[in-house]
Structure 1
Amino acid sequence: MGARTFVVVGGTSGLGLAVARLLVEEHRVAVLGDRPEEVAAVAGELGCAGVVCDTSSYDQVREAFAEVIDRYDTVDGVAACASVWAGGDLVDLPPERIRRAVEVNALGTTYVFREALQHLRRQGFGNLVYVGAMAVTRPRPGIPVYRATKSYGQSLVESLAEAQHSNQIKVMEVDPGPMPTRLQERVGDEFLDHVYALPEQVAPEVTRLLLLDPDDLYVSGERVLRADGRW
């Protein structure tokens, strides 16, 4: 199909950045991130478009997608990779961290899906890939809030996938195991897992789904588990 256009939400670090790096070799990419300096650095490094966007703000999400559409006219796929970490016992978590996790992981995901699907439906095709977490497949001690917010995203994917009534627009999910990214670092938590996957090992699965053609087999609602060998 030649070069296509992709939006990577949360594309300035971790898995999102790994996905953007794979896509930018042959396609047009716009990375969205909430920190201007990181967006500028990644856009400069990859030679792609960069848009500052805090996904907890619907207005910013709407404006970011409008900017990409204005620049490229169409969007072939959207990778929803943005997340906020909230690890620790519920009674030990500061209320502001709980609020931020819900704002980004739940509300932000909803806003991204809303805008993405609005544009995909307008053009009649496209792929939406949500990055969930293997932690939602079974309880994992120490991350009740993070797991709950990622479970919200999974539920949203399941409902939206069924609602499309067309294979032209696919809504899918990748659930990776623990990965050493900046999620924990940004809130001062240490990455404690000893067995894990690297973002570069999971990114090819996300890009595979993003690159599915409109006429490929019906896979909307598909969940891809990228286990780290432990579960």
Structure 2
Amino acid sequence: MPSTTGRTGVRGSETGRTRRHAARVNCPGGGWRDMGARTFVVVGGTSGLGLAVARLLVDEHRVVVFGNVPGEVAATADELGCDGAVCDISSDEQVREGFAEVVERYGTIDGVAACASMWAGGELTELSVEHIRRAVEINVLGITYLLREVVGHLHRQGHGNVVYIGAMALAAPRPGIPVYRATKSYGSSLVDSLAEAQHSNRVKVMQLHPGPMPTRLQERVGAEFLDEVYAMPEQVATEVVRLLLLEPDDLYVSGERVLRADGRW
């Protein structure tokens, strides 16, 4: 399914993949796997923290970026030389189709970074019903559909890591963002419960709560929410990648929360 249709469909830059991944071996199903490389999906990988995570991974691993804007997905895939899929996580069907195509292409998914988020700033009485609904669709229903699909797949294959990107606002309430904080609190609670339920170190479910960062989402938020001391997306991305690259037999860290109240790392 071509990604330009607005539906899910894994696409990529053949030139980019050839340039970055020269050593290939055949695998069942007619696909290919690079010796020593792993497969990662970055949801919300076309901007901000997600894009920074994809950039760190793509030189040594297979990367698929998920985004809900076809043009941005195509541009990111071409820039990084990786695969991309158009996927609105508020659609359970698109989430299932997107991951099914990644599995069909590569066989294994070693890690997923859940970076997609919908900003909902402003007092409750100032937000439109449509804006509230969309924030719930992305930050609540979307992360539920995503984790349901990802955790199920990781268990079927017997290993893998998922990192949920929360928000520092959960640790310290900020005025003016009640809906955003409530929806992100749902995601954090869901990850807590899933992590506790794994009963295995081979499937790790973790969350990271960065402070405000100068990203596209931050531009929507406004400068008043940017702390005096903050981390750049590239700095936070190194921590996300560290968690994604944990081996199945590494120390038990499922449920680990990584955060710093001042945004520094």
Q: Is 1:50 paired with 2:58?
A: no
* Aligned residue number for residue 106 of structure 1: 140
How far does the alpha carbon of each residue in 1:98-121 deviate from its partner, in whole angstroms, 9 at most, with x for none? 111110001100111011011101
SS in 2 for 1:152: helix
- Please, what is the CA RMSD of the aligned residues? 1.4
Preserved CA contact (<8 Å) 1:180 1:191: no
Preserved CA contact (<8 Å) 2:41 2:112: yes
> 46, 65, 70: which is aligned to 1:12?
46
> 188, 200, 204: which is aligned to 1:166?
200
Give the Cα–Cα distance (whole angstroms) in 2 for the partners of residues 184 and 132 of structure 1. Answer: 14
Give the Cα–Cα distance (whole angstroms) in 1 for the partners of residues 151 and 160 of structure 2. Answer: 9
> 102, 106, 119: which is aligned to 1:85?
119
Q: Is 1:148 paired with 2:182?
A: yes
Give the Cα–Cα distance (whole angstroms) in 2 for the partners of residues 229 and 80 of structure 1. Answer: 19
Preserved CA contact (<8 Å) 2:42 2:64: yes
Give the Cα–Cα distance (whole angstroms) in 1 for the partners of residues 132 and 218 of structure 2. Answer: 14
Aligned residues: 228
Preserved CA contact (<8 Å) 1:202 1:226: no
Preserved CA contact (<8 Å) 2:64 2:85: yes
> 101, 126, 129: which is aligned to 1:67?
101
Preserved CA contact (<8 Å) 1:178 1:228: no
- Aligned AA (1:146): Y
SS in 2 for 1:115: helix
Moved over 3 A (4+): 226-230
> 222, 226, 240: which is aligned to 1:190?
222
Preserved CA contact (<8 Å) 1:174 1:226: no
Give the Cα–Cα distance (whole angstroms) in 1 for the partners of residues 262 and 217 of structure 2. Answer: 18
Q: What is the TM-score normalised by the length of structure 2?
A: 0.83
Preserved CA contact (<8 Å) 2:210 2:263: no
- Aligned AA (1:78): V
How far does the alpha carbon of each residue in 1:53-91 deviate from its partner, in whole angstroms, 9 at most, with x for none? 000000000000001111100000000000000001110
Percentage of identical aligned residues: 74
Higher relative contact order (CA 8 A, sep 6+): 1
- Aligned AA (2:103): I
> 112, 136, 156: which is aligned to 1:122?
156
